[in-house]
Amino acid sequence: MTVTATETAIDALEARIDIPAVTDALLGTWAGVRREAREMIKDPAFWRIEGQPIAEHRQRALEQTHLLVQHGASARANPVEYGGGDNQGGNLAGFEELVVADPSLQIKSGVQWGLFGSAILQLGTKPHHDEWLRDAAEMRLPGAFAMTETGHGSDVQSIATTATYDPDAQEFVIDTPFRGAWKDYLGNAGQHATAATVFAQLITNGVNYGVHCFFVPIRDESGEFLPGVGGEDDGPKGGLNGVDNGRLHFDGVRVPRANLLNRYGDVAADGTYSSPIASPGRRFFTMLGALVQGRVSLDGAATWGSALAMTIAVTYGNQRRQFDNGSGETYLLDYGRHQRRLMPRLATVYAQAFAHDELLQKFDAVFSGAADTDDNRQDLETLAAALKPLSTWNALDIVQEAREACGGAGFLAENRLTGLRSDLDVYVTFEGDNNVLLQLVGKRLLADYAKQFSGPPADVAKAVAGQTAGRIYHAAGLRRLGQAFTDLGSTARSVELGLRAEQQHDLLAGRVEQMIADVAAALRPASKLPPAEGAALFNQHQNDLLAAARAHGELLQWEAFTDAIERIDDADTRTVLTWLRDLFGLGLIEEHLEWHLIAGRLSTQRAAAVSSYIDRLCARLRNHAQDLVDAFAYEPEHVRAPIASGAERERQEEAARHYADLAASGRAPKKEPKPKK
The interaxial angle of helices 571-591 and 19-27, nearest 10 deg, is: 50
Q: How far apart are the first and last CA of the chain?
A: 40
Q: What is the dihedral of CA 108, 113, 114, 119, to 10 degrees?
A: 130
The answer to whether the beta carbons of residues 369 and 360 sit under 8 Å apart is: no
* CA separation for the pair 7, 624 (Å, rounded): 9
Per-residue DSSP letters for 358-384?
HHHHHHHHHHTSTT--HHHHHHHHHHH
Backbone angles phi, psi at 351, to 5 degrees: -60, -40
| Side-chain half-sphere CA neighbours of 420 within 13 A | 36
- What is the rounded (10 degree) CA torsion for 98, 99, 102, 103? 120
CB–CB of 420/476 below 8 Å? Answer: no
CB count in 10 Å sphere of residue 104: 25
99 neighbors 304 (Cβ within 8 angstroms): yes
Residue 331 Cα to chain centre, angstroms: 32
Q: Count helices and strands (H / E) in the chain.
A: 28, 12
Cα 34 from Cα 638, distance rounded (Å)? 13
Catalytic residues: 431
558 backbone dihedrals φ, ψ, rounded to 5°: -60, -45
Calpha distance 347→363 (Å, rounded): 24
